[in-house]
Amino acid sequence: MSHGRDEQDQTVVRKSITIGRETAEVYRAFVDGSFVAQFAEHLDSATEETGGAWHWMSTTLAGSSGHGTAEVIDEEPNAYVRWRWLEDGDERGQGTARFRPAPGLRGTEVAVELEYDARGGAPGRWVEKLLGTEPGQQLLRDLFRFRQLLETGEIATTVGQPAAREMTGGVLVSAAGQPSGRVAQ
Amino acid sequence: MGKHKVEVHTVPDPGIINPKDAIVRITSTAICGSDLHLYDGHIPTMKEGDVLGHESMGEVVEVGAGVKRVQRGDRVVVPFAIACGECAYCRRGLTSCCDNSNPNAHLPEAMYGAAPSALFGYSHMMGGYAGGQAEYLRVPFADVGLLKVPDGLDDEQVLFISDIFPTGYMAAENCGIRKGDVVAVWGCGPVGQFAIRSAFLLGAERVIGIDREPARLAMAGEGGATTIDFSDDDVRVTDALKELTGGRGPDHCIDAVGLEAYGDGVDAAYDRVKTMLFMATDRPTALRQAIQACAKAGTVSIPGVYGGVLDKIPLGAAFNKGLTFKMGQTHVHRYMDRLLELVEQKAIDPTFVITHRLALEDAPMAYELFKAKDEACVKVVLTP
């Protein structure tokens, strides 16, 4: 059933994170597709379409390109947003995010839930292509990267660092000298 | 490169990857006791070709566009843990609990319930950052991390502020030493040595060092400690401690031994880790002894690295004596200014702990020497 949802067959992954920023700032960043594309590992870029939906491009973890649309279907600014993923018009899954102030001066608590049909049909395969075989773990990775970007302005990475093996991916932005560094490994 | 296999290789120099990075040309680096856990193959998620080392210092040679406080030419010490300076934990000075420095935080989160900070050169679960037993080191969040060294101090006087000195100091501070207290330290390796001296600096009247290596016991003695040599089968550490403390037991007990964690059943870094099997060596004996020996209402302070689960910890003894446990990876950034001051004031000369000085090229031999404790080895400093 490409447009309906049977509650009992949905796979749900839920992760929470606390981010040391005001709720309005966190919410604004989360619903901005171009910001999301910066931290979500599976997204390369996102462009806003008329009507407010976000069309995004992805080189998935499996290495094959994909694309999709994220469309907000319900929201309460600074508190709640629900969206659905579409691939060429077919719904592949939904997500919700809830935002509330964290206790004390800790910032904002964000709770994200992803729902999709993992039974083996097109939706499940698509989500797996996008998020890998452990969507919960990928969601957590993405939320960590979301926090890093908001709190430090950077995403922690070691891609491009030296090692005594074939380096795949990553580019050295600059080098400190001739490639003659001796290291203990 | 594998268990008991450390090699020196030529690799590309590191470069700036993120705007807050700096590149440090390493002038001195050291091997840590916890490097031996890597060497012995006990820490999971290492990959062949990973660069080791987390006790380093040198000169800043390049800074990213986001670096404001340090500049090229600064002489700096690099803390072993990587801290962003912005998260809730960093703001509290608890930098080894940094939320944002580990790109693989989901791995320790799965094992421990939450991810601590990344460490240099200490497995992919702890961030996978290339380490500082090298000619150059990329340091993320350089403004937060790097301790500037004033002129007039040699490398050897300040190098240990990267790790073992604050580790011993924090272990002693965690005891909550009141003037006149008695502190016992299990393990007279480099961390234990600094714990002993730090305990005196913090007001302890007597410090007892426990080990079985003659060189380490002698070094502890030179630091003012009374020593217990448990290589003698007639010596029961808990009895000896009773005798040395008028039957009370030491007020505070520092476990500077730790536990080697064995990975079993973890095939890949990206599996969700649900359980981890650890085989205990006889080192958990130190923690059990510390609990058993500790005076009522005392503190057990644990700087020794633990990774997994332990059996048969006498929690009944701990509960009924009202003990406090304090532990954790060192919050180096919290201590480094204070410790630099102590060195400048000559309250302590950290060079006492060095027994061997070798070239980076000699790293394979140095690891073997350090592991075997041959030639009365206590601490090895390597020069690239």
Q: Does B90 touch chain A (CB under 8 A)?
A: no
Residue B262 has a pLDDT of: 29
| Whether residue B239 has pLDDT greater than 90 | yes
Question: In sequence order, which residues have a C-beta less than 8 Å from that of residue A1 and are 6 or more positions away?
Answer: none
Q: How far is CA B382 from CA A183, A184, B24, B354, B356, in A?
A: 11, 10, 16, 11, 9
Q: Do A162 and B11 touch (CB under 8 A)?
A: yes
Average pLDDT for residues A152-175, to the nearest whole number? Answer: 69
Residues of B whose CB is below 8 A from A107:
88
Residue A171 has a pLDDT of: 31
CB–CB of B353/B159 below 8 Å?
no
Mean pLDDT score of chain B: 90
| Whether residue A1 has pLDDT greater than 60 | no
Residue B273 has a pLDDT of: 42
Residue reference for tokens 């694309």 = A67
Nearest residue of B to residue A161 by CA position?
A: B14
Among residues B235, B227, B234, the alpha carbon closest in space to that of B206 is found at: B227
| Whether residue A185 has pLDDT greater than 80 | no
Residue B270 has a pLDDT of: 31
Residue A63 has a pLDDT of: 61
Amino acid at the residue A2 = S
Q: Write the residue in A18, A20, A185 that is nearest to B9 by C-beta.
A: A185
Give per-residue pLDDT as tens, B18-40: 999 999 999 999 999 888 888 87
* Beta strand extents in A60-106 (DSSP E only): 65-76, 80-87, 90-101
Q: Which of A90-99, A132-141, B152-161 shows the lowest mean pLDDT across its residues?
A: A132-141
Residue B119, strand partner residues: B81
d(CA A17, CA A111): 7
Q: What secondary structure letter does DSSP report for A90?
A: E
Residue A169 has a pLDDT of: 40
Burial of B296 (0-12, 13-18, 19+ CB in 10 A): exposed
Give per-residue pLDDT as tens, A35-94: 999 999 888 888 998 888 888 887 765 566 678 889 999 999 999 999 998 888 888 899
Query: CA of B23 to nearest chain A CA: how many angstroms apart?
Result: 7
Residues of A whose CB is below 8 A from B115:
144
> Rounded to an integer, what is the distance from CA A51 to the centroid of its chain?
22
d(CA A79, CA A23): 8
d(CA B138, CA B148): 16
In degrees, rounded to 5, the angle at the alpha carbon of residue A115 between the alpha carbons of residues A114 and A121 is 130
Cβ neighbours, 10 Å, residue B271: 13
Question: In sequence order, which residues have a C-beta less than 8 Å from that of residue B221 and are 6 or more positions away?
Answer: B209, B227
Confidence of residue B151 (pLDDT cuts 50, 70, 90): very high
Q: Is the dihedral of CA B370, B137, B73, A153 positive or negative?
A: negative
- The ipTM is 0.88
d(CA B252, CA B293): 9
Diameter of chain B by CA atoms?
A: 63
Residues of B whose CB is below 8 A from A184:
6-8, 51-53, 133-134, 360, 363, 382
Confidence of residue A166 (pLDDT cuts 50, 70, 90): low
| Whether residue B147 has pLDDT greater than 50 | yes
Confidence of residue B41 (pLDDT cuts 50, 70, 90): confident
Extract the tokens encoding A108.
Answer: 């904002």
Q: Which long-range contacts (CB under 8 A, 24 or more apart) does A35-40 make?
A: A35/A149, A38/A149, A38/A155, A39/A142, A39/A145, A39/A146, A39/A148, A39/A149, A39/A155, A40/A142, A40/A145
> Rounded to an integer, what is the distance from CA B68 to the centroid of its chain?
29
Q: Which of A21-35, A109-123, B101-115, B188-202 shows the lowest mean pLDDT across its residues?
A: A109-123
Q: Does B48 touch chain A (CB under 8 A)?
A: yes
Q: Do A152 and B100 touch (CB under 8 A)?
A: yes
Q: What percent of chain A has pLDDT over 90?
A: 48
> Rounded to an integer, what is the distance from CA A137 to the centroid of its chain?
11
DSSP helix/strand/coil, A178:
coil
d(CA B362, CA B365): 6
Indicate the helix (H) or strand (E) that contains B9: strand B8-11
Give per-residue pLDDT as tens, B97-138: 999 999 999 999 998 999 999 999 999 999 999 999 999 999
Q: Which of A156-160, B47-51, B237-241 shows the lowest mean pLDDT across its residues?
A: B47-51
Question: In sequence order, which residues have a C-beta less than 8 Å from that of residue A54 and are 6 or more positions away?
Answer: A33, A34, A36, A46, A47, A48, A69, A70, A71
Nearest residue of B to residue A19 by CA position?
A: B87
Which residue did the predictor score with more confidence, A12 or B55?
Answer: B55
Mean pLDDT score of chain A: 82
Residue B272 has a pLDDT of: 34
Residues of B whose CB is below 8 A from A177:
13, 61, 136
Q: If you compute the radius of gyration of chain A from its CA atoms, what whole number of angstroms results?
A: 19
Q: Do A152 and B62 touch (CB under 8 A)?
A: no
Q: If you compute the radius of gyration of chain B from its CA atoms, what whole number of angstroms results?
A: 20
d(CA B348, CA B370): 24
Query: CA of B70 to nearest chain A CA: how many angstroms apart?
Result: 16
Helices and strands (DSSP H and E) totals, chain A: 4, 8
Give per-residue pLDDT as tens, B271-323: 234 334 544 433 577 888 899 999 999 999 999 888 777 777 899 999 999 99
